[in-house]
Structure 1
């Protein structure tokens, strides 16, 4: 197994950047994945706020593993204005260069009322253009198995990666999303694993009345340990980034960061990684 790097989506621990940095430091880690700071997405921060954030990260010695964008997510149907995505990518390209962040998280757009063929056609066209722009900036777009045309189907993810054919478009696998969206994660991962460049670690189980309850890694139905084994057996050497969803669930616009839950999920992941199957890999 290759060595693994550990990080977390900071706003799952605290809304403010100081709290996010402190949470990963409590775990003994030095990486964050940035989504929002003070409730504002990274791309929407004003220039002064972004400069302050970048300076704070540098002084703390905290690296940025990836930046989450709103490109193609649950809030932006494919019938919306593509200029919004282009503008956001241009802003993030500049900001990722400052932060040293190599990846931007994207999705593949809600359908906006279109039929499937037209939905897929527009998704491919948009992501092809965004990947071209990302490649020019030395960035990689990491498509998550979440909202959008390819969010729940491995064949469509592979269609995007192979059809667009750009090194700037790869896949982000969120282990817990399968439980939340109603499909088993392991079969999907086995199909897409060669193209996975980033991983979100969370776990969940079915609750009462069809609700999903998010729990620490290894305590739910996502088969986190088996997913990690598949990743490592296939040479995965990227970041494992915890996204606990214990309190904060951005897609539902509910909750706030929970440092205690964040740290508990980080410790649970460390215990999984300490299993004999993983122990040879260590951390870096």
Structure 2
């Protein structure tokens, strides 16, 4: 199993993050936030500087965790806002994001990376009670992703569409539907089981509910090209009931899931969303699982 971590889970300073990742045995990393910028917002000169830093640490880039189509309204009348201000993003309309995708494909060449994370559009603030993932949404998202996949194809890249609880498609089964509709080798899934677990059921149409993570994995596994690992504990008495935990400390049974994931031969990236010291410890936890399970 190829293991990785999104470097800004350690710190946004890539020099420190890369050396820390290396010293804890990783050979691969994923890039999102670097000194306050999302990776797709780097200039080519900044990307070359970052690549030199990674080369010095002996690390390769498994994926560019761009925010293409995240802070992008799916419909013109949608108002969207950022869920936490420190999350680095690119903003604009659909055309802006498609144009920026061409730039991030060029950056991926600099980093020697083939996989680029994209999102299924931020959920609107001004449509309370509206379900995401309706047939209208699916058709519109698939249309945009078809154009995006064509851009990726022309650059020799693969887009990894992430199921995200802040988006129109929080469940992995929902992003897989887009992948199947687009039907392009340049569009695959980034499966995040933690995101599927904590997806807001009040936002998801009934047809996408009532599936366990194990069942979802079996359904989507052939379309996965990258995976994020995080865990939660559900505490219903809290105002925000999904509490981040260590990978082996939450409600998701990774002891059962990891051997199945390992059979896919894709890179898994830690995204614990915990404090930096704990995120570093999670590298050792994942490495221990890989060693103990002979993955």
Common fold: TM-score over 0.5: yes
Describe the superposition over 1:111-170 as per-residue Cα deviations: whole angstroms up to 9, x where unpaired. 54588333222101100000011011110001112143333251x333212211100011
2:216 corresponding residue in structure 1: 188
Structure 2 residue ranges without an equivalent (≥5): 77-92, 201-208
Higher relative contact order, structure no. (Cα contacts within 8 Å, ≥ 6 residues apart): 1
Partner of 1:42: 39
The CA distance in 2 between the partners of 1:28 and 1:195, in whole Å, is 28
2: distance between equivalents of 1:172 and 1:95?
19
The answer to whether 1:134 aligns with 2:152 is yes
| Aligned 8 A contact 1:218 1:272 in 2 | no
Q: Does 1:244 align with 2:269?
A: no
Question: Which residue of structure 1 aligns with residue 48 of structure 2?
Answer: 51
Deviations 1:14-58 (A, max 9, x none): 111112102211211121100010021111123432232122222
- The corresponding residue for 2:22 is 25
State the aligned residue count.
260
Which residue is 2:84 aligned to?
A: none
Deviation string, structure 1 residues 180-199 (Cα, Å, up to 9, x no partner): 32574322212101111111
Q: Is the 8 A contact 1:175 1:224 kept in 2?
A: no
CA distance in 2, matches of 1:76, 1:224: 32
For residues 61-98 of structure 1, the C-alpha deviation after alignment (integer angstroms, 9 at most, x for no partner) is 2110000111222x222126211211221111101011
Give the match for residue 72 of structure 2. Answer: 76
2:182 to 152, 164, 184: 164
1:230 alignment partner, one of 260, 263, 274: 260
Q: Which residue of structure 1 aligns with residue 87 of structure 2? A: none
1:149 and 2:168 matched: yes
Q: Confirm or deny: 8 A CA contact 1:172 1:197 kept in the other structure.
A: yes
CA RMSD of aligned residues (A): 2.0
Taking structure 1 as reference, are residues 246 and 111 closer, same or farther at Cα in structure 2, changes over 3 Å only?
closer
Counterpart contact for 1:190–1:230, Cα < 8 Å: no
- Displacement after TM superposition at 1:175 (Å): 2.5
Q: 1:37 to 1:196 in 2, by over 3 A?
A: same
Residue 198 in 1 paired to residue 191 in 2? no
Question: Is this contact kept in 2: 1:178–1:222, CA < 8 A?
Answer: no
C-alpha separation in 2, matches of 1:85 and 1:32:
24
Partner of 2:8: 11
Q: Secondary structure at the match of 2:188?
A: strand
- Cα offset, 1:103, TM superposition: 0.5
1:267 corresponds in structure 2 to 284
